[in-house]
A = this chain, B = another copy of it.
């Protein structure tokens, strides 16, 4: 769990720096298509981070909660996340 946490934090810090660079690209009048490619790269990095956090959630919290008999809430939470996933 702690390794997922530090992994997620690390990825988010890279995203944070990347977004800063895209702001500078826009300021410097970069070509639209280049800006779009960089935004897509950030979205892709965020998607991966999200999946890592979800995988960790499934492996820990979900298993624990189902073992305690609290499966309903846990399933609804996961489905909400998946349905919003565009």
Query: Closest Cβ of chain B: how far from A16's Cβ, in Å?
Result: 5
Interface class of chain A by DSSP = helix
**Which residues from chain B contact A35 at a C-beta distance below 8 Å?**
8, 53
Do the beta carbons of B12 and A26 come within 8 Å of each other?
A: yes
Do the beta carbons of A54 and B79 come within 8 Å of each other?
A: yes
Q: When chains A and B are docked, how far (Å) is the Cα of A54 from the Cα of B83?
A: 11
Do the beta carbons of A51 and B19 come within 8 Å of each other?
A: no
**Which residues from chain B contact A57 at a C-beta distance below 8 Å?**
32-33, 36
Chain A residues within CB distance 8 Å of chain B: 5, 8-9, 12-13, 15-16, 19-20, 22-23, 26-27, 29, 32-33, 35-37, 39-40, 42-44, 46-47, 49-51, 53-59, 61-63, 66-67, 71, 75, 77-79, 81-86
Q: With A44-B86, A85-B85 known to touch, is A13 a contact of B23 (CB < 8 Å)?
A: yes
